[in-house]
Amino acid sequence: MRIYTAITVQMMIWSAFTLIEWLSKHDKPAYNYVMFAIFFYLALLAARQFLDSARKVAFATVSSLIIYFLFYWMMSPFV
């Protein structure tokens, strides 16, 4: 149940990343890379609040990132 909570919170973080990326669509790509790194670190910190082991934190973060990219890739033709 804790890993589900961690992934759900991370999906909220990735949703915020998408919103901020959309609001800053005229920025240079380097700024988007830095912003991605910041949000990735926030996702790691959020997972560490719910999970005990580093392996579970990495699994939750990679899982939420894959879900986010799949959803982003599937919805991109409609935007």
Is residue 79 pLDDT above 80, yes or no? no
Q: What is the pTM of this model?
A: 0.87
Burial 42-67 (b: 16+ CB within 10 A, else e): bbbebbbebbeeeebbebbbebbeee
Q: CA-to-CA distance for 58 and 44, rounded, in angstroms?
A: 8
Q: What confidence score (pLDDT) does residue 8 get?
A: 93
Torsion over CA: 7, 10, 12, 18 (sign): negative
pLDDT digits (tens, 9 = 90+) for 20-50: 999 988 889 899 999 999 999 999 999 999 9
